Amino acid sequence: MDPEATDFFAATFSIEEEDHTLANSLRFFLNKNPHMAFCGYSMPHPSEEIVNVRVQTTGQITATQALKAACEDLQHVCVHMRSTLNAAVAKYQREEQARERRGA
């Protein structure tokens, strides 16, 4: 975030070593927040691994709070996806072992 920013309800966050994958996911969760006025992101240049995420709220929460909430929401989805995938893999492995025991 720009250290000289005086408007806490609008900010641009630069995230290094990231690309469209994270930026678009954050944009999705930020835009789900009812306190968002605007959210978007840009990549200054394709050869640079940096994304600039612009966050502007309605004034009920700060831009930092909005970004933090979006990161937490994204993390919860990732944890859920991982546990769902792990459960599906474990189920498949159990079924595969049962088929092998039956000789199928």
Q: What is the CATH number of the domain that holds 95?
A: 3.30.1360.10
Q: Please give the residue range of the domain that contains residue 67.
A: 10-102
**Residue 104 pLDDT greater than 70, yes or no:** no
pLDDT tens for residues 59-77? 999 999 999 999 999 999 9
Residue 1 placed within a domain: no
Domain count, the chain: 1
Residue 3 placed within a domain: no
Q: What is the pLDDT of residue 87?
A: 98
Long-range contacts of 28-35, Cβ-Cβ distance < 8 Å, separation of 24 or more: 29/69, 29/70, 29/71, 29/73, 29/74, 30/55, 30/66, 30/67, 30/70, 32/73, 33/57, 33/61, 33/66, 33/69, 33/70, 35/60, 35/61, 35/66
Q: What is the pLDDT of residue 2?
A: 52
Q: What is the pLDDT of residue 85?
A: 98
**Residue 32 pLDDT greater than 90, yes or no:** yes
Residue 93 placed within a domain: yes
Residue 2 placed within a domain: no
Q: Which comes out higher in pLDDT, residue 7 or 47?
A: 47
Residue 5 placed within a domain: no
Residue 21 placed within a domain: yes
